[in-house]
Amino acid sequence: MSRRLPTGGSRIDRSRPVTITVDGVEVAAYHGDTVASALLAADRPLLSRGIYSGRPRGVMGVGVEDACAYVQVLSGGGEPMVAATTLEVHDGLAVERIAGRGRLPAGDDTTRYDTLYGHAEIAVVGGGLAGLRAAVAAAEDADGARVLILDDGPALGGAAADLPADSAAGRELRDLLTRLDGLEGVTVLTRTTVTGSHGHGRLVALEQRPHGVAKRRLHHVQAVGVVLATGSHERPLVFADNDRPGVMLACAAADYVTRYAVLPGERAVVWTAHDAGLHAAVELADAGTEIVAVLDVRETMAGPLAAALAGRGIALHLGAEVTGTDGSDDESGRLIRVHTTVGSFDVDLLAISGGANPAVELFSHPGGRTRWSDEVAGFVPDVPAPGQVGREVVVGAAAGDQDVVPGWRETLQPPATVFRADAGDPELVFLDPHRDATLADLRRAHAAGLSSVEHVKRFTTIGTGADQGRGFGVLAVGVLAQELGRPIEEVGTTTYRPPYVPLSFALLAGRNRGELSDPVRVSQAHDRVAHAPMEDVGQWKRPWYFPRSTADGLEDLDASVAREVRAVRTGVGMMDASTLGKILLQGADVGVLLDRVYTNLFSTLKVGKVRYGVMCGPDGMVVDDGTTARLSGTDWLMTTTTGNAAAVLDTLEEWHQTEWPGLDIALTSVTDQWAVVAVAGPRSRDVVATLAPQHDWSAEAFGFMDWREAPVAGIPARVLRISFSGELAFELHVPSWYAAALWDAVEEAGAPHGITPYGTETMHVLRAEKGFPIVGQDTDGTVTPHDLGMSWAVSRKKTDFIGMRSLARADARRPDRRQLVGLVPLDGSSRIVEGAQLVAHGADLTAFPVAMAGHVTSAYPSGHDGRPFALALLDGGRDRVGEVLDAVDDLVPLAVRVTGPVSYDEQGARRDG
């Protein structure tokens, strides 16, 4: 049976039939229908079931105030928990009714979501009469002002669009839309719900897109002024069995007639506490519903609405209430009977209207406070958030103005503040049907001693469903006030927080997913090394290792690294080190700054020399390390760890600008401007000599920590003799556009020596054998240079450096501080696990708490001698060399012996080759 009326329907296009599928059954609809209107037209009122009770639920509202009608979308990648009252139909749409909660589709959401940023002088939220008046006035007054109107409906007009075109409201609407059309600078976004007002004029909005393009858009709107014309939400009344399919909000029921030409019931009882419910009764009657009784909780009634009902022969019962309902025994559970204080009625529709809640959510988001108004019978805006004063106005029904629709005020009878009937089983009085929370639950909360509305909300879960209390929230507050015997204004509402309607994570992510979720940085020589497996270092992709094909297939990580380590220790290796952070420091006072930020002395560094430095925070803990080369009297080049470059630059800026602005210094990041290839190993000098034969590269002419400018394979370059492996090594710095040419030249010059490219893993093994810590891996913000065994890098001559005062504290000198040590497995072959906890050897791991003496910070399966080793932080570690401990991973102990942190060439004999 179709409940579609033969004519009418302001939102549907009868020339465009649409077929959707609900629970596998085809349902005929028209373009412009929502899933809710299509199902009501098909006389299928059962939309969902209670999340815990399993009770049948139908459509109660016509928009975002509905608290029941959520469906699972199956088509187009699927989506859980979509409001049927706002989901517009399109061919191929398939949905499924759900019981209270949806389920995340198994696959990836491949739908397109877009993010847009907009700016406006005035943003008007809500395109009803009140909003349009404000928008037209703003656009006409301020020439060229950008006015943005955001409305969640498919077209502008709000409630006025549901009134006859020849009514005063209809005429005004037409006039406003005509004037709007002629105005420059006005932008209209329909199907766009503002989900948050975030202060300082920032709004976030969700735009539903026509089917076939990006599914949704997220708008970030920055406005100078905000007009909130968000209207109101119809409020229900409660009674026993108030949740059956067939119980609807009265104005919503009338809107289904006007918007979708759907008659929501054949025979109806209307129960109301304000005039809008009476108006809805007249509209339903005129559309063809037999209104068997209208109940108004108010004791007196006069005016045109009472006359309109009488003129249609409809009985109006004043001071009357609904006490309960009966439902059918079949699967649909639909309403068949209404019990009231004036008798019982066999009907298929109970239309209820307890009042209109001004939609104050957006007013409240930034901190606006509301008050209860008896005149409006609702919470209205009271004190705006201080930051919104002068920036935000609330107009129309959202402000409690009941004369938005012209002509209403003259006839208005004051609304009643009524929330519930007392009769019936409180277990069946639903105060939040979406959460299946009842009056009995609320009484249990009260009995448990809870009286704050926020506590009751959390105890009962009322208002925590997908509708976030838009349907029943204020009503539940009213019921709580009655139960507590306190005035509703004292109880107040719960805090409204964004988002106003649900936002999916996929929408928030927009296009920033997968490869686009974070910028990827690659070295300028990337295409020469891109065949290697990559390791993520911050945003950088760095070659991890360079596996070779062997008879047994491609080498694995361990085999490749063992070969690469051997090459550097015995021959020569090459590494792309372009990702190193590089900061150019220029000015007369750079030395002064470096003396303050590094623990050791830098101002004495001569041009042509390089020095290693450690940086601490003011708390004395290591934050970075690296080398700085003095390029000239005024120019210095600092290198930082790859992942820390931006943070170090920021720190230098901060100290310079905020503490020592008088210093003559300019700081520039040159990370991307210089490509670096490291050539390391006893044969590296031969390679560099081939590349730059015009220079003497002997240790006497070009010593450790020297740098010089020299053309390398014809490329202008800086060559630095620094080593992160302990071997003789050179860093070749060239302008970045020469990166590939340099890589090729080094490969060619090194070929006779069997030069071997190596990756970050080999670099880590090489440096770990030398006991060189990696800041952030072997340190964690609680480690001083002394803890790392780097007291040699901490100046005793300087009067101050950042962290010096902290290092002077007694605690920083405690001998039992956690210190960097080396570890080897007692059996000489078992792998030590990174992150393993260090405990006493043989400690009982079941006797909690087990005393923890430290942890493994770096571990590798084999060093130069082919044996596993590790670095660790250990309490008083420097005095415990030789001691045997257990390294415990996942409750499995491994016996390890403590060594010094340096396990290779402790004398440093190899750095000159």
Partner 1 sequence: MLRIPCPHCGERDATEFHYGAAAGVDYPTDPAALTDGEWAAYLFVRANPRGWFRERWFHAAGCRLWFHVERHTVTDQVRTVREGAA
Least Å distance between CB 666 and partner 1?
Answer: 11
Task: Return d(Cα 404, Cα 487) in angstroms, integer.
Answer: 28
Least Å distance between CB 655 and partner 1?
Answer: 8
For partner 1, which is the closer residue by CB, 374 or 659? Answer: 659
**Residue 808 neighbours by CB distance under 10 Å:** 10
Look at phi and psi of residue 873 and say left if phi exceeds 0, alpha if psi is from -120 to 50, else beta.
Answer: beta
Least Å distance between CB 736 and partner 1?
Answer: 22
125, 324, 600 from 248: Cα distances, Å: 27, 14, 77
For residue 86 the two structure tokens come to 């706002």
- Geometric angle at alpha carbon 313, from 307 and 314, rounded to 5°: 80
Q: Could you tell me which residues come within 8 angstroms of residue 410 by beta carbon, excluding any fewer than 6 positions away? A: none
For partner 1, which is the closer residue by CB, 107 or 661? Answer: 661
Distance of CA 318 to the CA centre of its chain: 51
Least Å distance between CB 365 and partner 1?
Answer: 12
Taking alpha carbons only, the member of 65, 64, 87, 86 closest to residue 76 is 87
What HEC string does 561-609 produce? HHHHHHHHHHCCEEEECCCCEEEEEECCCHHHHHHHHECCCCCCCCCCE
Least Å distance between CB 385 and partner 1?
Answer: 6
Taking alpha carbons only, the member of 271, 228, 454 closest to residue 358 is 228
Least Å distance between CB 653 and partner 1?
Answer: 6
Least Å distance between CB 56 and partner 1?
Answer: 43
Residues in the chain, overall count = 913
For partner 1, which is the closer residue by CB, 387 or 735? Answer: 387
Least Å distance between CB 663 and partner 1?
Answer: 13
Least Å distance between CB 220 and partner 1?
Answer: 8
For partner 1, which is the closer residue by CB, 164 or 386? Answer: 386
For partner 1, which is the closer residue by CB, 403 or 672? Answer: 672
For partner 1, which is the closer residue by CB, 126 or 196? Answer: 196
For residue 811 the two structure tokens come to 């605690």
Q: Could you tell me which residues come within 8 angstroms of residue 268 by beta carbon, excluding any fewer than 6 positions away? A: 253, 284, 289, 290, 291, 292, 347, 348, 349, 350, 351
Q: Could you tell me which residues come within 8 angstroms of residue 199 by beta carbon, excluding any fewer than 6 positions away? A: 365, 366, 367, 385, 387, 388
Taking alpha carbons only, the member of 535, 532, 505 closest to residue 520 is 535
Task: Return d(Cα 72, Cα 58) in angstroms, integer.
Answer: 15
For partner 1, which is the closer residue by CB, 132 or 616? Answer: 616
Cis peptide before 210 (omega within 30 of 0): no
Q: Is the dihedral of CA 399, 400, 401, 402 positive or negative?
A: positive
Task: Return d(Cα 100, Cα 435) in angstroms, integer.
Answer: 7
Strand partners, 715: 712
For partner 1, which is the closer residue by CB, 103 or 805? Answer: 805
For partner 1, which is the closer residue by CB, 593 or 804? Answer: 804
Least Å distance between CB 192 and partner 1?
Answer: 18
For partner 1, which is the closer residue by CB, 343 or 386? Answer: 386
Q: 737 φ, ψ to 5°?
A: -70, -10
Least Å distance between CB 536 and partner 1?
Answer: 22
For partner 1, which is the closer residue by CB, 120 or 804? Answer: 804
Cis peptide before 499 (omega within 30 of 0): yes
Least Å distance between CB 809 and partner 1?
Answer: 6
Least Å distance between CB 777 and partner 1?
Answer: 24
Least Å distance between CB 390 and partner 1?
Answer: 10
Least Å distance between CB 198 and partner 1?
Answer: 5
For partner 1, which is the closer residue by CB, 309 or 807? Answer: 807
For partner 1, which is the closer residue by CB, 386 or 487? Answer: 386
For partner 1, which is the closer residue by CB, 307 or 666? Answer: 666
For partner 1, which is the closer residue by CB, 624 or 761? Answer: 624
Taking alpha carbons only, the member of 566, 578, 869 closest to residue 737 is 578
Q: Reduced to 3 states, what is the DSSP secondary structure of residue 479?
A: helix
Helix, strand counts (H, E) of the chain = 21, 50
For residue 735 the two structure tokens come to 């302008």
Sequence-ordered strand ranges (E) for 280-419 = 290-296, 316-318, 322-327, 335-340, 343-346, 349-353, 355-358, 369-373, 378-383, 392-394
Footprint of partner 1 (CB under 8 A): 198-202, 222, 367, 385-387, 618-619, 650, 653-654, 657-659, 661, 799-800, 804-806, 808-810
Q: 401 φ, ψ to 5°?
A: -70, 120
What is the Rg, in whole angstroms, of the alpha carbon atoms belonging to the chain?
37
Least Å distance between CB 596 and partner 1?
Answer: 9
For partner 1, which is the closer residue by CB, 22 or 194? Answer: 194
Asked if 710 contacts 695 with a C-beta cutoff of 8 angstroms, the reply is yes
For residue 92 the two structure tokens come to 């191929």
Least Å distance between CB 646 and partner 1?
Answer: 8
For 619, which DSSP code? T
For partner 1, which is the closer residue by CB, 170 or 201? Answer: 201
Least Å distance between CB 659 and partner 1?
Answer: 5
For residue 341 the two structure tokens come to 């204080």
Sequence-ordered strand ranges (E) for 126-175 = 147-150
Task: Return d(Cα 230, Cα 129) in angstroms, integer.
Answer: 11
For partner 1, which is the closer residue by CB, 201 or 378? Answer: 201
